[in-house]
Amino acid sequence: EVQLVESGGGLVQPGRSLRLSCTASGFTFGDYAMSWVRQAPGKGLEWVGFIRSKAYGGTTEYAASVKGRFTISRDDSKSIAYLQMNSLKTEDTAVYYCTRVPTIATFDYWGQGTLVTVSS
Amino acid sequence: QSALTQPASVSGSPGQSITISCTGTSSDVGSYNLVSWYQQHPGKAPKLMIYEGSKRPSGVSNRFSGSKSGNTASLTISGLQAEDEADYYCCSYAGSSTFSYVFGTGTKVTVL
């Protein structure tokens, strides 16, 4: 059974950093691209970023709203994807979901999400 | 990249069919057959319902179907059931110049 479990969320002050983790199980993690999607309270879904599998270079892509502040990485030996968030803003407050990406624009499995609250 | 446009709400009676539209541009929906649809119940993670425009993942009811015409994608739910009441989001690849995915604004489906 495919499972994705996010961790690392919490309350953080504006301008500070936070790192989220996504621990995967039930599939060969290294074979898949992974993505992060967020949802502000009471709002819709917003794509945050994406990391390709090593077979496709392990390169990353980001939404314009987080480019230069957020970094996605992966440790295939541990089946973990990371989202490093720097220079956090109040508008980054959201539930952050980790997703598996088997093909372009397809997020087939989602974690339960972890809440990040940016507030002073 | 602007969000894809969806109606805020759609409603129907049990057994009826409803259609949710997802309107983009020639840079996203219109250029690629790479639209996916997600169902989200309150407090839950989204669930993939349709991918690559019209394909259904294993385990998703065949009451859900997807299509596209021009810059607009659509999700049709036939034989509406109480458990279909949820929020629905479309998503499209939008990467002609810069890699990007864009989600729709979301539609609340109410079963009357």
Here the tokens at position B46 are: 């989204």
Tell me if B38 and A105 make a contact (CB, 8 A cut-off). no
Burial A30-51 (b: 16+ CB within 10 A, else e): eebbbbbbbbeeeebbbbbbbb
* pLDDT tens-digit readout, B7-21: 999 999 999 999 999
Tell me if A45 and B1 make a contact (CB, 8 A cut-off). no
Q: Could you tell me the pLDDT band of residue B1, with boundaries at 50, 70 and 90? A: confident
- With CA atoms as reference, the chain A residue closest to B8 would be A44
Residue A6 CA to its chain's centroid (Å):
8
A2 touches chain B (CB under 8 A): no
* pLDDT tens-digit readout, A51-101: 999 999 999 999 999 999 999 999 999 999 999 999 999 999 999 999 999
Q: Which member of A44, A97, A105 has the closest CB to residue B101?
A: A105
Cα A68–Cα A74–Cα A75 angle in degrees, nearest 5: 145
Segment 8-67 of chain A within 8 Å of chain B by CB: 35, 37, 44-47, 50, 61, 63-64
Radius of gyration of chain B (CA): 13
Q: Give me the DSSP letters along A54-65.
A: GGGTT-EEE-TT
* pLDDT tens-digit readout, A1-52: 999 999 999 999 999 999 999 999 999 999 999 999 999 999 999 999 999 9
Q: Give me the DSSP letters along A16-72.
A: --EEEEEEEESS-GGGSEEEEEEE-TTS-EEEEEEE--GGGTT-EEE-TTTTTTEEE
Residues of B within 8 A of A35 (CB-CB) are 101
Mean pLDDT of B48-73: 96
* pLDDT tens-digit readout, B24-47: 988 899 888 899 999 999 999 999
Beta pairing partners, B67: B74
The single-letter code of the amino acid at B91 is C
Q: Which residue has the tokens 């507030």?
A: A119
Q: Could you tell me the pLDDT band of residue B98, with boundaries at 50, 70 and 90? A: confident
Q: Which member of A45, A63, A105 has the closest CB to residue B35?
A: A105
Per residue, what are the HEC states of chain B?
CCCEECCCEEEECCCCCEEEEEECCCCCCCCCCCEEEEEECCCCCCEEEEECCCECCCCCCCCEEEEEECCEEEEEECCCCHHHCEEEEEEEECCCCCCCEEEECCEEEEEC
How many residues comprise chain B? Answer: 112
Residues of B within 8 A of A107 (CB-CB) are 36, 38, 46, 48, 91
So what's the pLDDT on residue B96?
66
